[in-house]
Every structure is written in structure tokens, then in C-alpha cells.
Amino acid sequence: MPSDLAAQLRAVSLRVTRPRLAVLAALRDHPHVDTDTVIDLVRADLPMVSHQAVYNVLHALTAAGLVRRIQPAGATARYEAQAGDNHHHIVCRSCGAIADVACATGHAPCLTASDDHGFVVDEAEVVYWGTCPACSEGIA
Amino acid sequence: MPSDLAAQLRAVSLRVTRPRLAVLAALRDHPHVDTDTVIDLVRADLPMVSHQAVYNVLHALTAAGLVRRIQPAGATARYEAQAGDNHHHIVCRSCGAIADVACATGHAPCLTASDDHGFVVDEAEVVYWGTCPACSEGIA
DNA sequence: GCCCTTTTCTGGAACAGTTCAAGTTTATGC
DNA sequence: GCATAAACTTGAACTGTTCCAGAAAAGGGC
């Protein structure tokens, strides 16, 4: 459904270009991919896109709120299509795999800081650290 | 109290060296500093330390659990002396400032993933995103 | 206190991911 | 279709981090 993705772009006043559609499609089909993988996925459709274009597009889409940038400590930047639901992530310390986790309680009771130090908080992010099933087996 | 810091090192079977003491002292006095700042702080005492030594030390201390590495999306790595308390961080989107936040509820009700996808979770990290007082004023 | 072994540090170079800049191409509105 | 402004291509620069080889220093035994 390319027109669907095009509509998303128009909704945020961004021009509809081949690279942007390809990036959106890649993120839709592959959640939590790093920039390098995005470039590879996009080039499967459009061999001529420069990595620059991908960086530009990811920035533009992030700024527009269509995709979300996630970057666990030490790893390279990853992106996911912003579904609008406030889910969180569980990251494998060993292999870096990322899985989605729905917010446990629904209304996030502890996601309001007890003492905000005068900060204006607009988002609370939760990252669970652990070991994925595959890596757990390897260890055991 | 250098001997205090030395004791921390000995407790985790690390040799007591000048650079390590300087890094520990720097982190104790300046929470949430980035690597560059650590290097500057250490060089205030020991002008000859290489950046390499600081990286080595930070890695060693992180592995030993004496310091904690925090790296909000897009920013460079920062370190803090690990106090053992499970506090979280509030990060300014504008200037990158970081403040400590005590865990709001004490017993962290939503810090257990609802569906762990088979992962073995050993830590839940919370990052609040917002705008610090100084930057808020600048905008207003 | 001195020597030996092992760890750690110094200095320099390499590397990955990301960003910057100039010029060309492409999408959009008329 | 045409003009204009945004987006893309190419290529190089930059930052933060890591790798490597040799020199220095810490810790333990004598």
C-alpha cells in the first residue's frame, strides 16, 4: 500500500519521494532496525540511494513524529515506525536484540517523576535490560 | 580521602593506580559527566593521562560495577558513580543536562514487563525526557 | 627494601557512525 | 509544461571510540 505511506507523509507536510517511501516501508516491515540495515533495505528497492538521503529522511521523519529513534547505551541508533502506542523496549545485553513490551500497567503510575527538579517532563521512557531467549540458551 | 577510593578499587580486585583514583574522584564530585569532561577533570590533577587510560578505566570500573554508564539517545556516553540506589534520570532535550530522580513509588510497580518475550530481565531503566528550567526560560 | 611478573598506561593510528557542503535532480503548485 | 523550493547525490570531514605496540608502574615474594 504505497499510497498509505504517501498519505502519512502528506499529513505532516513532507514531500512524497521515492527514498522516503522506501524508508517508511522498511521500518514498517522491520521494526527496531539500525541505520545500516535501513540503508540496505532501502537499496533493495532503490539501489542508488545514498546513505545521506537515509539519514536525512530518518531525521525528517523523526522530527515529524512518524518514526521514533531509540538508542540503547553503546549501540548504534535504531528506528521504529511510530505506532503511537506508548510501548517500551526490552534489550538483550548480549546480542542487542530488541523486543516490544506493552506498558505493564496501562496508565503508567511510576512514570511521573517524584521530584522533577523544575524540569518540564514530556515523555518517560522505559528500557528493560536482560538476556534474550537465544542468548540465555547459549549461556546455560 | 583517597584511601576511601583506593578501598573501593581493592574491593573489586583492581589495582590502585593514580588515573583510577582520579577518575573515581572526578565522578564522585561531578555526577553525569561525559567522557570528555572526565578526561579534563582527570588532567587537572594528572596532566599526562591519555584519553585511552580514561576509557580503559571507565570500562574497568563499569565492568566492576563501581560506576554506571548512561547514554541517552543521541548523546555521548556519560558516567556516574554508582551509589547502589536504583534512581533514574531526567534528561533535557535541549541542553542535555541530566538530573537524578528517585524512583517515584519506591517499589517500581510497572518495572516488571507484562510480557517478557522469554527474555530474562535483570534491570529496568527509566529515562524522563523534558526541558530543564534554564532551557524552559529561554523558550518562554 | 629490591626484583620479577603482570597489569596498566602512553602515544599514535585506525575505525564506525554521523554530519557538513556544493551542486544537481525532483516534487509541487500554477 | 514551467518556475521554485525542497530533496537527493557525491564526497569529504568530524567526533567519539577502539585497537595496537612498547614503556611504565603496581603488587607479591625474597
**Domain ranges, residue A40:** 2-80
pLDDT at A109: 45
Each residue's pLDDT expressed in tens, for chain B with a length of 140 residues: 556 889 999 999 899 999 999 999 999 999 889 999 999 999 998 898 999 999 999 999 998 889 998 887 767 889 998 766 678 888 888 788 888 887 655 445 455 656 667 888 887 888 888 888 888 776 55
Q: Are residues A40 and A91 in the same domain?
A: no
CB-based contact (8 Å) between A108 and chain B?
yes
Q: Are residues B12 and B29 in the same domain?
A: yes
pLDDT at A112: 62
Test B111 with A131 for CB contact under 8 angstroms: no
Q: Are residues A10 and A75 in the same domain?
A: yes
Residues of chain A with pLDDT > 70, as a percent, come to 82
CB-based contact (8 Å) between B98 and chain A?
no
Higher pLDDT, A41 or B83: A41
Q: Are residues B61 and B111 in the same domain?
A: no
Residues of chain B contacting A136 with CB distance shorter than 8 Å: 118, 120
CATH code of the domain in which B104 resides: 3.30.1490.190
Test B125 with A130 for CB contact under 8 angstroms: no
Higher pLDDT, B115 or A1: B115
Q: What is the phi/psi pair of residue A70, to 5°?
A: -125, 140
* B23–chain A nearest CA distance, Å: 20
B46 touches strand C (CB under 7 A): yes
Contact B26, B41 (CB under 8 A): yes
Q: Are residues B47 and B109 in the same domain?
A: no
Q: Please state the domain count of chain A.
A: 2
Contact B107, A91 (CB under 8 A): no
Higher pLDDT, A126 or A139: A126
Contact A102, B117 (CB under 8 A): no
The strand pairing partners of A40, in sequence order, are none
Q: Are residues B20 and B75 in the same domain?
A: yes
Q: Are residues B67 and B100 in the same domain?
A: no
Cell representation of residue B18: 593514580
Mark which of B80, B101, B126 sits at the end of a domain: B80
- Categorize the per-residue pLDDT at A110 as very low, low, confident or very high, splitting at 50, 70 and 90: low
Question: For the whole model, what pTM was predicted?
Answer: 0.82
Burial of B81 (0-12, 13-18, 19+ CB in 10 A): buried
Q: Give the angle B120-B121-B122 at the CA atoms, nearest 5°.
A: 115
Contact B24, B58 (CB under 8 A): no
Cell representation of residue A136: 540465555
Q: Are residues B51 and B102 in the same domain?
A: no
Q: Are residues A108 and A135 in the same domain?
A: yes
